[in-house]
Each structure stands twice: as structure tokens, then as C-alpha cells.
């Protein structure tokens, strides 16, 4: 059983951040708030989100698992007017999700969590380099890299963060020295990532004032940001080993 | 014979309101102004428009019937600059329509009214419920309904206007109490309509400050609004009997 | 050898003006600046551009020929932030073009000028009529003409500049008297041009405050404008003889 009311912008920004990489997820709602973790179909990207109870206007919940179609929920929340509030609840009889805002009452069928893939836990990774930049810079980097190749190498060299993308004909590289970054924990490592995933990720990241990128040597990257205050989202993207 | 000059915005808003539902129509121009009435190819939607002589800057006309391709005329008027005036006349030799604005002179071939379908008169209907809302609310309702199903039920229950759309999985409903409406003549009736037609209709309706919706029990709906002042447009949409 | 730095907007506006009609070109850079001239694949359109040395922030060049993919270069320059500066240089080892702005370093493969079509010189033409109008008026004319036919006749009749487009059903004409033009050198001539080329040309021309159109009797048109100050671009478009 649960009933929760929340600023629609907060809910929508977390849902959109998940849906940038993931189509379906199990959301767990309890007295502490809402959390979700899922991997994409290709097993190459993981996303987690968390909205603590403090970000809800009202939250009355015993633990409930919701099997969500993120694309559908995001497009429905996109109908809401600015500065509206959304109330979520479960219809106990039909086991459908009620979504209320602006006088509209949506009743959405849910996916059955028992039929859905169990999300693995976030892997323990030794990622010695840590870079903090603005979300808009991350998006610009990814867009620039896409002009040259299909993959983007991110790494740290001395006191600089760099990205590089090598195509069959063209090449693009960017170096940002420590003074151009919000923060840097230095370590000479780099890894290669698919620009397809990075482009999807950058859509949600671009509006974040800060994004933390944790890198190792040919290891997955962990990307942390808050689409709205105190609502952390974490992406984990698998590395590519060779650039083809 | 006729020659008429009119604020392009007035002419264009009436033409666009017709073209939301109708491709071709016969426009009748005489000393009283311009009127048109047509049904769509599937015989499920009717639109009428009227621009009284008072809305013309100059109007010098004996009764003339123009067979209009509404899509073509609307896209040509869309070329005009804001606050321009358009002069319409018939070339007596070629029987083509001259359209003048912004120094451009268009000569458009007309459809032959004798080959066009004669529009039926607006049906006499017993529609006891009458709801007045803002055009933007109508558009929002139709858009919300499209998230769930293919049809939308509109009706009055007690002192509330409601819409409901039921899909195979999801459902959406909105209730607006009398205090949330501009006006309400109450009667417990409802009818079901195709969201395809309602979506087309809502494009022209959304900019109207007021739209009047007249409803009966499983009867056509009459929707009245003014795309520009004193230029009434009326839509009549056939009901659907079952929701499939 | 060369190394040049230039306001990105100046470089981009000249490159975009070329790429409106041309896919690939040889750009010649020397101490006097950068120039380029090319014809399109169908041999029906020629474009030339010139950026004098005074428009560069720094220019250190012995004569260099660059075989450019204009579409690729234009989309890369489109990534630059407003009011950025771009530095161009050749990598002597790889013979690739280095493009630097906003901290990004692009390395682009060049086309081999020896394999590219040698551009003919601009033809000597007797074009007695010369019309000067705003770029936005030119674009509006071309757009209006496209509503009727596939070709547009431009000419001068007495003290008026006119355009006319005749389709199978419709026709559009515009006359601009001398007082509505920025300048007019009168001569009773006209020529017919493909709206496909004129539409492409109008995209770059529309932002120019002045465009000079030089017309003869069934001869190519020469269109001159400056996408940025002191950086002339010239288009030459072949005439069409019959309107089909």
C-alpha cells in the first residue's frame, strides 16, 4: 500500500534520467522514499535513482514494488503543467497505478516484477581517477566526439582530464586542465566507451550543475549526478576494449 | 463578381479552422460576407465557418461560389507577413482566384463547385448538456486522452463535465466541476468520439478563449468557437457507439 | 605551411554560403587571405568566396591548397560556442587539417586537390540589369514562387523588378518598383531559373542586409552578397530556357 505526493518536476527528472538508458524498471517505494536500479537489455549500462522521503510532499507507504514502463510514465508526466504536484497510489483491486495531476486521473497497468529481470548490485570497482565537471561540458564533449568516431576515450593524464575520439578519417581531442574542472582526483588511467550510450546519458546529464566521473584503466565508468536536489542518479557504463 | 479586402489573420484563422477537418469546400461570398459548410470524406465530421461583412475592410460582391482547396489556400496565406491585408477577387476570363498581399499576386485555379459534394444542412439535434471551457483546456483534455485510448467519452454527471478514455491497458479520466468551467447547462448524458477527429479539431480550437460543447446521449457533438472575433466556426462530429 | 586564427562566425558564414550550393571545394590560403571557387556536380551553379587577410586575427601562410568537405567542416564549426575563435593549421606529417576552438582539437582528413575538378573562371557575361534588395526579401520571393511552380523568372520591366512563377494550375508574381528597392540599374531583360537552386541559395542570402542581382536576357544570373563584412560571396546560376 502506498500513497505519495511529489512536485512533478522532481519525479519527472528522476524518471527521465532512468529512461535515458533503461526502458523498464522495478521501483521500490517505502517509508524512506523511492529507489530503482536496472540494467539495459544489452547488459552494458546500469542506472540507479533515489528520491528520499524528504523530497516528497506526503509519503505514506509500506514497501511496494512497481514494475514501470519508464517511457510511458515519462510521457504522461510530460503532460503536467509546470509547478504541478503528482499523486501516486495503487488501486488495491486492479493492482494498477493511479497517477493524478492537474485534475487528470491516469490508471496505468504495471509490469509484473516477478517476471522482470532482477537488477544486479552496483559492481565494486577500483576507479582511482575522479573528475567533476558541469553537465553542459559533458554534453558538449560527447557531441564533439560524435563528429569523429563511434567511441570516446575518457581519461586523466597528469593534471588534465581528456577525451578523444578516433574515426576512420577524423579525430577529435579535448584536454581540460585542473583549473578548468570543478574537481579532479588525478590518476593516469583511461577507458573507451560507446558514444551511443554516452549520447543517451548526456541528455539527462546536461542539465546537472555538477557531474562526477569515476574512471579506471579499461574499467566501467561511474557517472553520478543529481537531476534534482538530493535525488542522486548513478550510471555505470561498460568499457569497450578495442576501438572498432 | 466580387472583390474583397480583409485582415489576413481573420481570413487565415477561419480557413485554418475549416482545414483542420476538411480538405475542400465551397465558399459562398455575397454582400453579407463569406460562409462555408462541408463534410469530410468519411462523412463523420462537418465544419461551417462564417465571416460577416463587418469583418471585411471592403467587400463588393454579388453571390459567388468558390471551390477551394483549403490546404493550398492556407499555406499561401501562411506566407503573408503579420498585420498584412489580403485582397481576393475573381479573374472573370480565367475563373481563377486572385490573392494579393505584401506585393505578391497569386492566381489560383479553383475547383468546380458543380462537381463538388453538396454539403448537408446542420442536423437538428437534441443536445441538452452545454459546457463552456477555454480552448487550451479542450486541447489538454484531448492530448491526455490520447495517452490511453483511441476514443474519448465526454459527458456531464451532476454538476461536473467529464472526459474519459479507456485503452487496452490504461485509462485516463478528468472531472471538471461547475466552478472550474466557464459555463454549464447540466444534463446526465455522454457520448463517445474518435480521438483522431478530436485531435484535428483541437488544433484550431486551442487558441479560442471560449469553446461551447453541446452533448446528448450517444449523439453527435456540436462544438462552437470563434477563431477570430464575430467569425463563428461550428464543428459537428459523429459519435462512436462502441469503444473499439 | 599555414596557421590562421579567425572569429568562428566569419569563417562559418563563408563556409555555409559555399556549402549552400557546393559539397566540396579547393580553398586557397596565402598571405592575402582565403579564397575558393567551385561548381556543383550538375555544372549549373558556381560559388566563390573570399576572406581577406584583414578579417583574420592572425594569418601566417605560404600558398596552401586545402581540399575541403564543406558539409563536414560546416557541421564541426557549428559546434563552436558564440564569440569563439578558430585556429586552422596543417599537420605537416599527416597532411591533415587541425581545427581548434573552445579547447577542442579536430584533425580532419583533406581531399586531394589533384583529384578534384578544377573550377572554371567566372564567365564574362553581359548583364545590363542590376537590382539591389534585402536578403530577407529575396528569400520571401523564392518561397512565394515555390508555392506555384518549379522555376522562377526574374527580370526588370521599366522601373520595376519582377519575379514570376507559373505552375500547371497556379501562378504567382511580384513587382517591386524602384522606390521599394535599395538600388536599380534598369534594362528590359529577364531570365528563368530553377527554384531548387534558388531555394538553396536563399538560405545563405537571407541574412545579408544587401544582395545584388545581375540579370541579362536568358543568361546566367550573378548574385553578390557578404555573409560577413568585407567577405564577398558570388553565386552564378545557369538559366533555364523553357519552363518545364
Flag if A109 and B174 touch (Cβ within 8 Å).
no
Cα distances from C142 to residues B9, B108, B109, C138, in angstroms, run: 22, 18, 21, 6
> Residues in chain A with pLDDT < 70?
243-244
**What is the spatial distance between Cα C233 and Cα C218, in angstroms, rounded to a whole number?**
23
Task: Using alpha carbons, select from A218, A210, A45 the residue that is nearest to residue A126.
Answer: A218
Task: Using alpha carbons, select from C8, C60, C7, C57 the residue that is nearest to residue C29.
Answer: C60
Task: Using alpha carbons, select from A60, A23, A26 the residue that is nearest to residue A40.
Answer: A23
**What is the spatial distance between Cα B50 and Cα B32, in angstroms, rounded to a whole number?**
10
List strands edge to edge, sheet with A33-39: A64-69, A24-30, A33-39, A45-52, A231-237, A221-228, A211-215, A129-133, A183-185
Task: Using alpha carbons, select from B131, B152, B129 the residue that is nearest to residue B142.
Answer: B152
- The percentage of chain C sitting over the pLDDT mark of 90, rounded to a whole number, equals 90
DSSP state of A117: P
Interface test with C, best of B98, B106, B111 (most C CBs within 10 A): B106
Q: Which of residues 147-186 of B touch A (CB under 8 A)?
A: 147-148, 169-176, 180
Q: Is the dihedral of CA B34, B37, B40, B46 positive or negative?
A: positive
> Residues in chain C with pLDDT < 70?
243-244
Flag if C109 and A170 touch (Cβ within 8 Å).
yes
| Residue A218 backbone zone (phi > 0: left; psi -120 to 50: alpha; other: beta) | left
Q: Which residues in chain C have Cβ-Cβ distances shorter than 8 Å to B101?
A: none
Alpha helices in chain B (DSSP H): 8-19, 70-77, 135-146, 195-205
Q: Is residue A112 within 8 angstroms of chain C, CB to CB?
A: no
| B2-113 and B129-237 have identical folds | yes
- What pLDDT was estimated at residue B221? 98
Using only C-alpha atoms, chain C has a radius of gyration, in whole angstroms, of 19
**What is the spatial distance between Cα B178 and Cα C69, in angstroms, rounded to a whole number?**
64
**What is the spatial distance between Cα C104 and Cα C86, in angstroms, rounded to a whole number?**
10
- Buried/exposed C161-183: b ≥16 CB within 10 Å, e otherwise: bbbbbbbeebbbbbebeeeebee
pLDDT in tens, B91-102: 888 889 999 999
> What is the CATH topology of the domain spanning A2-37+52-113?
Proliferating Cell Nuclear Antigen (3.70.10)
- Helix and strand totals (H; E) in chain B: 4, 18
- What pLDDT was estimated at residue C82? 85
- Assigned CATH class of B2-113: alpha beta
Architecture of domain C2-111: Roll (3.10)
Are the C-beta atoms of residues B165 and B172 closer than 8 Å to each other? Answer: yes
Q: Is A45 helix (H, G, I), strand (E, B) or coil?
A: strand
Q: Is residue B109 within 8 angstroms of chain C, CB to CB?
A: yes
A143 CA: distance to closest CA in chain C (Å): 8
Q: Which residues in chain A have Cβ-Cβ distances shorter than 8 Å to B144?
A: 79, 104, 106
Nearest Cβ partner for C109 among A140, A169, A175:
A169
Domain range list for chain A:
2-37+52-113, 129-237
Flag if C107 and A171 touch (Cβ within 8 Å).
yes
Write out chain B's pLDDT in tens, 244 residues: 899 999 999 999 999 999 999 999 999 999 999 999 999 999 999 999 999 999 999 999 999 999 999 999 999 999 999 899 999 999 888 889 999 999 999 999 999 999 898 888 888 999 999 999 999 999 999 999 999 999 999 999 999 999 999 999 999 999 999 999 999 999 999 999 999 999 999 999 999 999 999 999 999 999 999 999 999 999 999 999 876 5
Q: Which of residues 54-73 of A touch B (CB under 8 A)?
A: 72
Q: Is residue B103 within 8 angstroms of chain C, CB to CB?
A: yes
State which residue of chain B sits closest to C165, comparing Cα positions.
Answer: B106
B171 CA: distance to closest CA in chain A (Å): 5
- What pLDDT was estimated at residue A244? 57
Please, what is the Cα angle at C23 between A152 and C37, to 5 degrees?
125
- What pLDDT was estimated at residue A1? 83
Task: Using alpha carbons, select from C82, C69, C23, C99 the residue that is nearest to residue A144.
Answer: C99
Flag if A147 and C105 touch (Cβ within 8 Å).
no
A134 CA: distance to closest CA in chain C (Å): 15
pLDDT in tens, B144-162: 999 999 999 999 999 999 9
Flag if B140 and A76 touch (Cβ within 8 Å).
no
A-C Cβ pairs (cutoff 8 Å, strict): 33
Architecture of domain A129-237: Box (3.70)
Amino acid at each position: 500500500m502506498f500513497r505519495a505526493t511529489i512536485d512533478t518536476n522532481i519525479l519527472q527528472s528522476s524518471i527521465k534520467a532512468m529512461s535515458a538508458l533503461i526502458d523498464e524498471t522495478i521501483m521500490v517505494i517505502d517509508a524512506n522514499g523511492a529507489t530503482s536500479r536496472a540494467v539495459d537489455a544489452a547488459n552494458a549500462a546500469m542506472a540507479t535513482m533515489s528520491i528520499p522521503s524528504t523530497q516528497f510532499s506526503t509519503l505514506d507507504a509500506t514497501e511496494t514494488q512497481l514494475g514501470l514502463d519508464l517511457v510511458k510514465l515519462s510521457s504522461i508526466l510530460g503532460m503536467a503543467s509546470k509547478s504541478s504536484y503528482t499523486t501516486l497510489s495503487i488501486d488495491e483491486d486492479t493492482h494498477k497505478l493511479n497517477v493524478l495531476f492537474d485534475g487528470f486521473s491516469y490508471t496505468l497497468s504495471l509490469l509484473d516484477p516477478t517476471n522482470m529481470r532482477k537488477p544486479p548490485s552496483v559492481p565494486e570497482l577500483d576507479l582511482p581517477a575522479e573528475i567533476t565537471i558541469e553537465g553542459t561540458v559533458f554534453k558538449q564533449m560527447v557531441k564533439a566526439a560524435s563528429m569523429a568516431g563511434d567511441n570516446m576515450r575518457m581519461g586523466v593524464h597528469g593534471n588534465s582530464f581528456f577525451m578523444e575520439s578516433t574515426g576512420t578519417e577524423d579525430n577529435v581531442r579535448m584536454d581540460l586542465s585542473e583549473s578548468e574542472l570543478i574537481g579532479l582526483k588525478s590518476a593516469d588511467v583511461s577507458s573507451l566507451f560507446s558514444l551511443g550510450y554516452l549520447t543517451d546519458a548526456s541528455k539527462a546529464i546536461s542539465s546537472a550543475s555538477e557531474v562526477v566521473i569515476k574512471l579506471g584503466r579499461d574499467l566501467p565508468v561511474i557517472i553520478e549526478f543529481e537531476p534534482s536536489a538530493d535525488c542522486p542518479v548513478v550510471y555505470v557504463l561498460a568499457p569497450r576494449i578495442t576501438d572498432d
